[in-house]
Chain A
Amino acid sequence: MHGEYKVPGGKLVVADLDVVDDHVRTAQISGDFFLEPDDALERINGALAGLPIALPAAQIAARVRGVLGDGVEMLGFSPEAVAVAVRRALTGATGWRDHEWEFVHDVPREPALQMALDEVLTEQVGSGERPPTLRVWEWASNAVIIGSFQSLRNEVDLDGAARHDVTVVRRISGGGAMFVEPGNTITYSLYVPESLVSGLSFIESYAFLDDWVIGALNDLGIAATYQPINDITSPAGKIAGAAQKRFAGGAVLHHVTMAYDMDAGKMLDVLRIGREKLSDKGTTSANKRVDPLRSQTGLDRAEVILADGRHVPEPLRSPGW
């Protein structure tokens, strides 16, 4: 059995396991990590031999940790990462490149239809009707999207929403409320087979599914990092929030909204939660926290969406940003 795990921000860990009678007979860990001393790899492999295939990741990690003394240096991975690679091998996890991904840069759609499309497209990936898909959204109107479990009244100022022509909708995933205007955010959804995140905890799956976009932001010169549970942040402030919904049919919805250029004043009229957060931190720092993608890259929104990390068009960078 074969399993791979790219540690977010770290190295690749590969587990090749020989399984007999519900136990790992022999294990071989490999990857592009760094490890000292040299014989530590043999000790890790030895620790994995004999383990029952139902053993949870935490206990696998403890076993690995147990055979490594104080003098061992693991760079780019950890006992937990080895455990994840092993769990992924044992559960038949797939990797990103095992799938044929499709890309849809969608036409502008009304907020309620966006919510419905997320549900329908995830179901289609679960049933195999559609290949794993990356959809970039365009918004047809202003919207507030509240999390599945949020109180409408507590989160949204409905008078403010009406005044700014904002449609309020509820999504199927958890997490917090967000305010969008067409062109001010970059929202996308990943519709993925559950096998891609097999062997990962919920927290690990957020970091795992966000890893490529953090790489993309790094390529654009933004020091973006994953911040548990579901944020992507930078030294200048939060850039994006992610949310997930697991479907019974074997697919996972992972959608992300990144701030491109936000009208903080309007947001405060519409979202109650924003007021509390801002009053905590003060207006000055609040202003610092908005429009990170535009201010940090100086790029057009379309350029950010299409960027491939190789050809950042320098002339688009505005001086003084």
Chain B
Amino acid sequence: MVGTFRNRYGLQAGDIDAATVELAQERVAEKFGTEEWLTRVP
């Protein structure tokens, strides 16, 4: 399927750098990993 995407629209190799992962980990601590977010609708 990724090959189909590449054939249709073009696709280059990218990456997720360490700073982005670190930012996401902060979001886990603040939001996505919290009981408050998980039980937003209990």
- Which residues does A use to contact B, with CB under 8 Å? 96-97, 99-106, 112-113, 115-117, 119-121, 124, 130-131, 133-136, 148-153, 168-170, 186, 212-213, 215-217, 219-220, 304-310
Number of A-B contacts (CB under 8 A): 121
Q: Does B41 contact A (CB under 8 A)?
A: yes
B13 to A: closest C-beta gap in Å: 6
Other-chain residue from B8, B24, B31 in contact with A215 (beta carbon distance below 8 A): B8
User: Are B31 and A116 touching (Cβ within 8 A)?
Assistant: yes
Tell me the count of chain B residues lying within 8 A, CB to CB, of chain A: 32
Query: 23 A-B Cβ contacts within 8 A?
Result: A101-B5, A101-B12, A102-B14, A104-B15, A106-B16, A113-B21, A113-B28, A115-B28, A116-B31, A117-B20, A117-B24, A120-B20, A124-B20, A131-B14, A133-B14, A151-B42, A152-B38, A169-B38, A215-B8, A307-B1, A307-B3, A307-B4, A308-B4
Residues of B near A103 (CB, < 8 A) are 2, 5-6, 11-14
How far is A213 from B3 in the complex, measured between Cα atoms in Å?
10
What's the Cα separation between A220 and B4 when bound, in Å? 10
Q: Contact: B9 with A152, CB < 8 Å?
A: no
CA distance A96 to B15 in the complex (A): 20
Complex alpha-carbon distance, A215 and B31, angstroms: 36
A132 to chain B, nearest CB (A): 9
Interface of A is mostly: mixed
Q: Pick the residue among B4, B16, B41, B42 that contacts A216 (CB under 8 A).
A: B4
The 4 closest A-B pairs by CB, nearest first: A308-B3, A102-B14, A216-B4, A216-B1
Chain B contacts to A: CB under 8 angstroms: 1-16, 20-21, 23-25, 27-28, 31-33, 37-42
Contact: A150 with B41, CB < 8 Å? yes
Residues of B within 8 A of A169 (CB): 32, 38
Distance (whole angstroms) from the CB of B21 to the closest CB of chain A = 8
Give bound CA distance, A152 to B6, whole Å. 38
Contact of B6 among A136, A149, A308 (CB under 8 A): A308
Chain A nearest CB: distance from B19 CB in Å?
10
Contact of A116 among B2, B7, B25, B42 (CB under 8 A): B25
Question: Shortest CB–CB separation between residue A93 and chain B, in angstroms?
Answer: 15
Task: Give min CB distance, A208 to chain B, whole Å.
Answer: 13
**In the complex, A235→B12 CA distance in Å?**
34
Closest to B5 in A: A212
Candidates A97, A99, A306; contact of B2 at CB < 8 Å: A306
Give the complex CA separation of A100 and B41 in angstroms: 38
Which residue of B11, B15, B25, B38 contacts A134 across the interface (Cβ within 8 Å)?
Answer: B11
Residues of B within 8 A of A307 (CB): 1-4
Residues of chain A with a CB closer than 8 A to B24's CB: 113, 116-117, 119-120
